[in-house]
Amino acid sequence: MSIIASGSTVLFQGDSITDAGRSRDDFSNLGRGYPHYLQGLIGSARLLDGIEFLNRGISGNRIVDLYARIKSDVINLKPDVISVLIGVNDTWHEFGSQNGVAVPKFERVYRDFLTEVTEALPGVKWVLCEPFVLDCGVVVDGWRDEIDERRAVVAKLAAEFDAKVVEFQGMFDAAVAAGSPPDYWAKDGVHPTPAGHALMAREWAKVVGEGESSKL
């Protein structure tokens, strides 16, 4: 059964993978990433259900950046379902410029974020998405181990907040194990190709209970 009721507002939050070129002026334009694909998949399957989709992902965001805009870009929008994909920049920025967010702080701030939003919006439904990387492009030794630690944090928080978990890393690992090259799904190892975003959308739809949508 889908967690998205008729008339719901679904908010996508995260970094550049979610942002994906979304419009800052026309909020019906969700960009070219997985939120856009989900708007089409679910919207076409449930065209009479009045579901609204919002995208407030911002390129470059770490968990601390997402927390800093908790009021304007989360609570004030009063969504019914919130999907969060965050974590890769917390690793990337550390490896690149020593400005990342260590895993313990990532967990602490993420938990504070979830707690404050849940208190402000009782009854909100959460979809927590695994951060992920593929073994190509900018990804270097050490990234995957740290991303796996952040995945464990996401799973832990999902249990605490009764959230659905979308296992994007596991999904991409399975796709690569089946014979496709990593850069087919993300040229730089971080930002998905159109095929990667479409795969993410189908997985997300399946996890939240939009079974028919995920088959389109």
Catalytic residues: 16, 188, 191
Do strands 81-85 and 125-129 pair parallel, antiparallel, or not at all (unpaired)?
Answer: parallel
Q: Among all chains, which residue has been given the structure tokens 């969700």?
A: 30
3-state secondary structure the chain: CCCCCCCCEEEEEECHHHHCCCCCCCCCCCCCCHHHHHHHHHHHHCCCCCCEEEECCCCCCCHHHHHHCCCCCCHHHCCCEEEEECCHHHHHHHHHHCCCCCHHHHHHHHHHHHHHHHHHCCCCEEEEECCCCCCCCCCCCCHHHHHHHHHHHHHHHHHHCCCEEECHHHHHHHHHHCCCCHHHHECCCCCECHHHHHHHHHHHHHHHCCHHHHCC
Backbone angles phi, psi at 52, to 5 degrees: -105, 135
